[in-house]
């Protein structure tokens, strides 16, 4: 080793340092990256907020190169150390080493945590359903733009959808469309129905029940409202329809261009709904301004749906709705670009395929169906104002109140 000269110049020192660095041939794998190691520029600090049964899978959706630095859940109230385990998500978001968060709480918390995380400079992967009601979704979409963050709902049905069909709708050549798409079953209606009678139970040790309820009303504790069965209560979700529909509708909504607008006419078929507990329903027709109709059928209650038949749902049928000249114009247009998944989006800073704007439109479909079931009547909806027309009672379910101190 060369002894340092007294009075060596800064230029000589830098020159010697560069030469020494060039002579080093052994470099740690985490610096270069590789199949199982990402370089520091490609690694991210991550946090999981909501550590129930779905939490691990949601965190995995952040992709490779994300290190789990924090876990947060209201059931950790008696063992939170505010270093790796938290009970209050706000303490997690204060950390500068957290770059991305996975949110797997009940949906009553999705909007508030997503907005706070993006305001704190974090990117967000949020479990479905996106939010508990329509106005929350718009607030999340506004926050995504305001803070210039990456946001993705944790379902990826749109990534396998037919982009050639999407091209037809994006082209603007198809002015009117009498397509009918029917989604049969798969929404766990009976499984995720709530209880209308129950005994009040003591709150389990370690659970912050007040924080769990969040912006929803503070109800007496009952075990069926906690864990997976929370889906059966309007306070936290919207039954099996909210739980499963984003999976089923994400692909069709993208494919048929239904993620840039919303239905204008909603026709329900269901028994009277309980004010607190989600229950059974038969079907719902959701018609768009261009004539496109989406039908959701539970197959679990009432008479089978028989009002409309599937129509004009494949590429060939839709092309036939265009003139020969318009078909040539369509062929001259480029196909839509492939969608960007969340792991790629947080690295490239390109907008995620399931971003907040399009996911809000997907969520609006099942929220409107639930509002129609709850009010028991046909509804009209304004896709621009995102309000139900001429029905203030129903519109209060679009803009639901929140319990102090929680506000959008």
The stretch 144-169 carries a mean pLDDT of 96
Q: What is the pLDDT of residue 156?
A: 82
The stretch 336-358 carries a mean pLDDT of 97
Summarize pLDDT for 278-326 with one digit per residue, the tens. Answer: 999 999 999 999 999 999 999 999 999 999 999 999 999 999 999 999 9
Q: Give 296's contacts (C-beta < 8 A, 6+ positions apart).
A: 183, 187, 241, 245, 283, 284, 286, 365, 366, 369
The full set of domains in the chain, from first to last, is: 30-156 (3.40.50.720), 158-199+231-395 (3.30.360)
The structure tokens listed for 281 are: 């329903």
Q: pLDDT: is 52 or 190 the higher one? A: 190
Q: What is the pLDDT of residue 270?
A: 98
Summarize pLDDT for 76-122 with one digit per residue, the tens. Answer: 999 999 999 999 999 999 999 999 999 999 999 999 999 999 999 99
The structure tokens listed for 213 are: 């309820």
| Euclidean distance between CA atoms 14 and 88, whole angstroms | 47
CA-CA-CA-CA torsion sign (2, 3, 8, 10): positive
Summarize pLDDT for 198-251 with one digit per residue, the tens. Answer: 899 999 999 999 999 999 999 999 999 999 999 999 999 999 999 999 999 999
Summarize pLDDT for 255-289 with one digit per residue, the tens. Answer: 999 999 999 999 999 999 999 999 999 999 999 99
Q: What is the pLDDT of residue 250?
A: 97
Q: What is the pLDDT of residue 19?
A: 39
Tell me which H or E stretch contains 43: none
Cβ neighbour number for residue 302 with a 10 Å cutoff:
15
Q: What is the pLDDT of residue 198?
A: 87
Q: Indicate the average pLDDT of the chain.
A: 91
Q: Is the link from the previous residue into 200 a cis peptide, with omega within 30 of 0?
A: no
Instruction: DSSP for 186-204, please give it.
Output: -S-TTTTPPPSS----PPP
Q: In this model, does residue 1 exceed pLDDT 70?
A: no
């Amino acid at each position: 080793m060369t002894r340092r000269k007294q009075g060596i110049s800064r230029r000589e020192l830098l020159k010697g340092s560069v030469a020494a660095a060039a002579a080093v041939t052994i470099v740690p794998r985490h610096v270069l990256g590789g199949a199982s190691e990402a370089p520091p520029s490609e690694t991210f600090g991550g946090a999981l907020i909501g550590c129930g049964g779905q939490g691990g899978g949601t965190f995995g959706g952040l992709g490779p190169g994300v290190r789990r630095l924090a876990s947060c859940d209201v059931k950790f109230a008696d063992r939170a150390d505010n270093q790796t385990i938290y009970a209050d998500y706000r303490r997690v978001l204060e950390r500068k080493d957290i770059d991305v968060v996975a949110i797997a709480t009940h949906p009553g918390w999705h909007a508030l945590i997503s907005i706070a995380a993006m305001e704190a400079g974090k990117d967000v992967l949020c479990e479905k359903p996106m939010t508990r009601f329509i106005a929350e979704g718009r607030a999340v979409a506004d926050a995504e733009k305001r803070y210039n963050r990456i946001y993705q709902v944790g379902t990826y049905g749109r990534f396998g959808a037919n982009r050639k069909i999407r091209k037809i709708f994006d082209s603007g050549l198809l002015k009117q469309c009498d397509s009918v798409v029917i989604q049969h079953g798969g929404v766990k209606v009976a499984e995720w129905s709530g209880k209308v009678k129950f005994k009040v139970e003591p709150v389990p040790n370690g659970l912050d029940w007040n924080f769990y309820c969040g912006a929803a009303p503070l109800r007496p504790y009952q075990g069926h409202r906690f864990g997976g069965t929370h889906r059966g209560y309007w306070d936290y979700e919207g039954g099996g329809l909210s739980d499963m529909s984003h999976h089923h509708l994400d692909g069709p909504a993208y494919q048929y261009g239904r993620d840039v607008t919303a239905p204008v006419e909603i026709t329900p078929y269901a028994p009277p709904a309980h004010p607190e507990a989600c229950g059974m329903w038969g079907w719902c027709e959701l018609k768009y301004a261009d004539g496109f109709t989406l039908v959701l059928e539970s197959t679990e209650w009432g008479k089978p749906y028989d009002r409309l038949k599937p129509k004009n749902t494949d590429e060939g049928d839709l092309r036939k709705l265009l003139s020969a000249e318009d078909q040539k114009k369509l062929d001259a247009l480029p196909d839509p670009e492939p969608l960007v998944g969340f792991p790629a989006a947080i690295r490239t800073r390109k907008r995620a395929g399931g971003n907040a704007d399009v996911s809000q439109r997907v969520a609006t479909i099942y929220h409107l169906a639930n509002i129609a079931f709850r009010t028991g009547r046909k509804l009209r909806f304004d896709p621009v104002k995102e309000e139900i027309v001429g029905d203030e009672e129903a519109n209060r379910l679009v803009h639901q109140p929140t319990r102090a101190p929680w506000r959008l």
